[in-house]
Structure formats: C-alpha cells, structure tokens
Chain A
Amino acid sequence: MLRFRKREIGLGPFLLWTGFWLVAGVLVLRPSATQWVAHQLGVGRGADATFYLGITALFYLFLRMQLKIRDLEHQTTELVRKLALEGARKAERP
C-alpha cells in the first residue's frame, strides 16, 4: 500500500499483491475455503487443488522468467556489439 502511494509500483502489481494477501488471509482464517475451490475445479480435496494451482502458477512464472532472461541477454549482446563496431570504426580512421 505504502509502495503504491509512493508510486514505486503501478496499479497492476498493486492489485495483484493486494489480491494475493487477501486470498492468503482468507485461507489462513478459514482453511476449508480451499475445499470450495477444489469442488469448483472438480478436484477431490482442497490441498490437491492448492497444489495443482501452485504448479500452474510456478510454471507460468518460470516461463516469464525465461523470456525475461532472454531479453536481458539480448541487451547485453547489443551492448557488446555496439562496442565491437565502434572499436572497428576507430581502427579504420584513428
């Protein structure tokens, strides 16, 4: 909340984290709520539903992270390329 007020994070991440903590709070106070979610998904037990949803979320995060790493590597390459091309240009006409 504080970080949102200071504009350190945007509206998207703010809602995501607020939602995350609200859900976490509800689940701590009433663990049986997972049972309801499990029932909606057609899974037998609440613990199983939490497990499946967790795996799905982690897989998604992993994919996002891989793409982010590729992005960073690409930026490094662009930097190295620029330096190489500049070096060659300098060698041409010193």
Chain B
Amino acid sequence: MNGVFVVIAAFNEERTVGAAVRGVRERVANVVVVDDGSADRTACEAGAAGATVLRHLINRGQGAALKTGITYALGLGAEVIVTFDSDGQHQPEDLDTLVAPLRGGGVDVVLGSRFLDRGTRVPPVRWITLKLGIVFTRIVSRIRVTDVHNGLRAFTREAVQRMNLHEDRMAHASEILDEISRLGLRYREVPTRILYTDYSRQKGQQSTAAVRIALDFLLGKLGKGH
C-alpha cells in the first residue's frame, strides 16, 4: 500500500512490539514506532522488525507519542496515516478493511469498531465502561459512534493535518472524535477484531482510568476555550 504509514506508540512493549511490526509489514512497508521512553528493549525489537524508530527521551503518553509519529510520517509525504496498537490487540488483517474506504474518496477518517465485529469478546467490565464512554461521547462531542477508545484508525493526510491534537495521554482518543465532530469530517466505522489476551489486559488501561480520561478531556476542552 503506497503512501500508507502505520504509526505505533509503544511503552515497555518489548514482548509484543516486534510481532506487531512484522505483522503490519506484511501489508504496509512504512511502519513508524515511537518508543515513548521505554526502559526495556522496545526500540531494539521494533527496529529489528523493520520499523523506523523514533524515541521520546521521557515518557509523555500515548497521545503525545502518536502525534510525534504522525508528524514524522507527514514529513515523509504520507497520504494515509493509520494508528495501531503495540500490545498485540489489533489484527494486521484489518488494515485492508480500514484503508479501503479512504481509497474510494468521500471519507476522511475510518474508525475501527470492536462492537461491529462479531468475533470480539469484550470482558464485562470493559463492556460497561466502553458503553458509558459511547454515551459520554455522544453528549459531549455530539458524535454517534459504536466504539470509543479503539486505537485502530485511518486518516487521510488532509484530515489529520486539520485536527488540533493536544492531549498527551489517553484522552487523545476522545479528542480525536471531538475533532472529527468539530471539523465535520466524513467518517466511517468498520468492524475490526480486538484480541483480549492476558498480556494486553494486564498491560492495558484499567477501567477505573476512565474517570481520569474524562476529566483530562473536559479540562482540555476548557483550556482550548481561551
């Protein structure tokens, strides 16, 4: 896939980042991994798997790392930018489904949705948290989506350039939806598989983090106001 850049943020993911990069590279040649100040061999593993590695000297959060990777990819003339998780939750096979709508034109952003996918088994607590998140997003950002905080997305170059992204940590996922709504970008959701492994569930966000994310996001909106 020409002009497509996959951006992966990774923080202490030495066990999974290599496999993620290799899986993606079977379909997309340009993979940018942003090592977000890891203390382990994340950067080495990603580099050995064939990714271009950028390093944050200190940990700044997933939102910050993705923005660094996106900025880098835009600098190299990327036409389509895909964000992908480093913990093995996302399936490289979904990349084709994700990028295809952008090729046809008429769509600016494609969002992966685990709830449109029949095969994804969402753990009960996560299920409730995400459904609340969907309602929250519908009220605050006025956008109707079937999934929130799904790290698998694809943007056209123009769309991502227009977005004003400031959230360094996990609230960036809410911010992206908010920006899509504010700018009136044309988006489509496609079913994508999430594989909940013991590793990803242990490494990933606790559902209680949702409160912090919501506060971060609201405070950020307040800050943008002036």
A interface residues (Cβ-Cβ under 8 A, vs B): 63, 66-67, 70-71, 73-74, 76-77, 80-81, 83-85, 87-88
Q: Is the Cβ of A87 less than 8 Å from the Cβ of B64?
A: no
Select A81's contact among B52, B67, B222, B223, beta carbons within 8 Å: B67
Q: A77-B60, A87-B54 known; A66 and B219 CB under 8 Å?
A: yes
Is there an interface contact between A80 and B60, defined as CB atoms closer than 8 Å? yes
A sample of 19 more A-B contacts (CB under 8 A), given A70-B223, A84-B55, A85-B71, is A63-B222, A66-B219, A67-B219, A67-B222, A71-B223, A73-B168, A74-B166, A80-B57, A80-B58, A81-B56, A81-B60, A81-B64, A81-B68, A81-B71, A84-B54, A84-B68, A87-B54, A87-B55, A88-B72
Q: Is the CB of B219 within 8 A of A70?
A: yes
Does B34 sit within 8 A of A, measured CB to CB?
yes
Chain B residues within 8 Å of A, Cβ to Cβ: 34, 52-58, 60-61, 64, 67-68, 71-72, 75, 166, 168, 219-220, 222-223
Cα–Cα, bound, A63→B71 (Å): 31
CB-based contact B54/A74 at 8 Å: no
Q: Are B55 and A70 in contact (CB under 8 A)?
A: no
Residues of chain B within 8 A (CB-CB) of A76 are: 58, 60
**Nearest CB on A from B216, distance (A):** 9
B72 in contact with A80 (CB, 8 Å): no
Does B220 lie within 8 Å of A70, measured CB to CB? yes
A57 to B60, CA, bound (A): 31
Q: Please tell me if the beta carbons of B34 and A84 are within 8 angstroms of each other in the complex.
A: yes
For B72, list chain A residues within 8 Å (CB): 84-85, 88
Q: List 22 A-B contacts (CB under 8 A).
A: A63-B222, A67-B219, A70-B219, A71-B223, A73-B168, A74-B166, A74-B168, A76-B60, A77-B60, A80-B58, A80-B64, A80-B68, A81-B64, A81-B67, A81-B71, A84-B54, A84-B56, A85-B68, A85-B75, A88-B52, A88-B53, A88-B72
Query: How far apart are the CA atoms of A71 and B98 in the complex, in Å?
Result: 34
Bound-complex Cα distance A67 to B223 (A) = 6
CA distance in complex: A77, B52 (Å): 20
Tell whether, in the assembled complex, residue A77 and residue B219 are in contact, meaning their CB atoms are under 8 Å apart. Answer: no
**Measured between C-beta atoms, what is the minimum distance from B104 to chain A in Å?**
32
Distance (whole angstroms) from the CB of A76 to the closest CB of chain B: 7
- Chain A min CB distance to B54 (Å): 5
